Structure 1
């Protein structure tokens, strides 16, 4: 008889935050006119908080997938790809249908499908990461923490070079260590690292790292610095993800979420987490639909944002309750 696997609350908290963060990045059109510097910086800060979403999703994936025993390569690939491909097919048909209904041409539809001007780029990035994950898993299992530190050191060095637009000579090819693949390894490392500091100090350090790196990211965005041209592969965004991950992880270890775990808030967080992949696609449909009823008011923005989050959750949640459709819901 199978026993229900116990959920790790800080993963659910991070995943729920990550999907809300992703939605934050795509609702700028619902702001009203920004007429003061304070309003511009406020909107920019709100938007840049949303940038944490993708790194956090990838870090959680690494924490849950790496250093595990899998019966076979086929088992791993089937399990992972079924979870992401069926929902993608279902939601992309709806997304493309909606775009076509509102006049999108074939060229634009194809670009949306391959992730050119749309959020579907994440699906294709995830495909690449999952194809590489069994190799990383064997690497981590064989060499342990030493392997993780080795990979992260080279990956972060490349992040630094990219942030400051420093180009190494062409014949030194380190592309194997570049890209999004560093985030899953970073997530695994943080989830399993035993720090010498006590839990409270690690939690506070995570919060401080998050706030400082976020301030740096907002400032660089405000002055139009090329340092953050590559949105998810620069020093501030790496530390934003690292800081948030540590802060929530150790807040959970310190039982800071004990009072909410079993009430409505805790259940809502878990439901958002469970539906997060479906929400990643459904919010595109919801945002497009509500854009035709846009009040373009800063005062109304919080209402519109909450409505978008709620409807984006509701769609995959309802689908997950319908027999034969759950596998397509992304929940």
Structure 2
């Protein structure tokens, strides 16, 4: 008889934070006019903090999937089933809504392929999962040294991308190390690395990294500098993701979460985490529905933001209670 695996709360916290952060990036349309500099900077800070959601999702994947024993065929079958079936289910609903809104064929096709659309993450995830078994074998053989080797070259490509200098020369190609695949390796490294400093100091370091890198990101955004043109592949966002991951990991280790794990807040965090993949696809549906009410108000924005999160969670949660549908709704 199989025993149910105990959930790791800080993974749930990070995953819940990540999906809320993703939604943060898409609710600007509920804001009213921004008339002061403070309002503009506040909106940018709120929005740019949301950018850390995707890196966190990918880092969690690496922490959970790397340095594991599994059969290649079984891994691909199980992993692809977990992301492909929900995609098919949600893309049908998304397309039905777009059809109802009289969206053009070109617009619907672009939504499907993720150009531009939230579905880009699904196609990115497909590519990463195809590469995970290769990275897994490499890390199992070379361990921490292999991680550092990969991350050093990956971060070098991130620096080049940040300054729009990649590839530096036409034949200087580091694509095997470049792109989103670095985030799972980074997540695994930060999850397994035992630092010499105390847990409390590492928690503070993570928080400071997050705050400073966010401030740099917002400054570059405010100055309209091209350094952040690649939203998820630049130096500030790498430090933001690393800082957030370290902060939450060590916050858990100094037992700061023990008082909320079993109460309503803790259970809600776990539920959002479980529903997060479904929420990723459901939130644009919810946003389009709420957009029809044409509410643009700075005063009501917090209400619209919370309502978007709640309904984006509620939709996949309800689907998860329906026989047959619960297997494909991403919960």
Taking structure 2 as the reference length, the TM-score comes to 0.99
Is the partner of 1:2 in helix, strand or coil? coil
Q: Which residue of 2 aligns with 1:84?
A: 83
Paired residues for 1:26-37 under 5 Å: 26-37=26-37
Distance 2:80 2:56 in 1: 20
Matched, 1:139 2:138: yes
Question: What is the Cα deviation at residue 165 of structure 1?
Answer: 2.3
User: Unpaired runs of 5+ in structure 2?
Assistant: none
242-251 or 315-324: bigger deviation: 315-324
Q: Which residue of 1 aligns with 2:297?
A: 297
Paired residues for 1:213-232 under 5 Å: 213-232=213-232
Is the partner of 1:174 in helix, strand or coil? coil
Is the partner of 1:32 in helix, strand or coil? coil
Distance 2:50 2:266 in 1: 21
| 1:174-193 deviation per Cα after TM superposition (whole angstroms, max 9, x unaligned) | 11100000000000000000
Is the partner of 1:176 in helix, strand or coil? coil
Paired residues for 1:229-244 under 5 Å: 229-244=229-244
Paired residues for 1:196-207 under 5 Å: 196-207=196-207
Q: Which residue of 2 aligns with 1:66?
A: 66
Is the partner of 2:179 in helix, strand or coil? coil
Distance 1:262 1:116 in 2: 41
Question: What is the Cα deviation at residue 166 of structure 1?
Answer: 2.6
Is the partner of 1:12 in helix, strand or coil? helix
317-326 or 146-155: bigger deviation: 317-326
Question: What is the Cα deviation at residue 164 of structure 1?
Answer: 1.8
Question: What is the Cα deviation at residue 132 of structure 1?
Answer: 0.4
Question: What is the Cα deviation at residue 294 of structure 1?
Answer: 2.8
Taking structure 1 as the reference length, the TM-score comes to 0.99
Q: Which residue of 2 aligns with 1:259?
A: 259
User: Unpaired runs of 5+ in structure 1?
Assistant: none
RMSD of aligned residue pairs (Cα, Å): 0.7
| 1:129-159 deviation per Cα after TM superposition (whole angstroms, max 9, x unaligned) | 0000000111111111111100000000111
Distance 2:326 2:191 in 1: 30
Distance 1:123 1:92 in 2: 11
Distance 1:218 1:248 in 2: 22
Q: Which residue of 2 aligns with 1:54?
A: 54
Distance 1:31 1:242 in 2: 30
Aligned residues: 330
Q: Which residue of 2 aligns with 1:312?
A: 312
| 1:91-134 deviation per Cα after TM superposition (whole angstroms, max 9, x unaligned) | 00110110111110111111100000111000000000000000
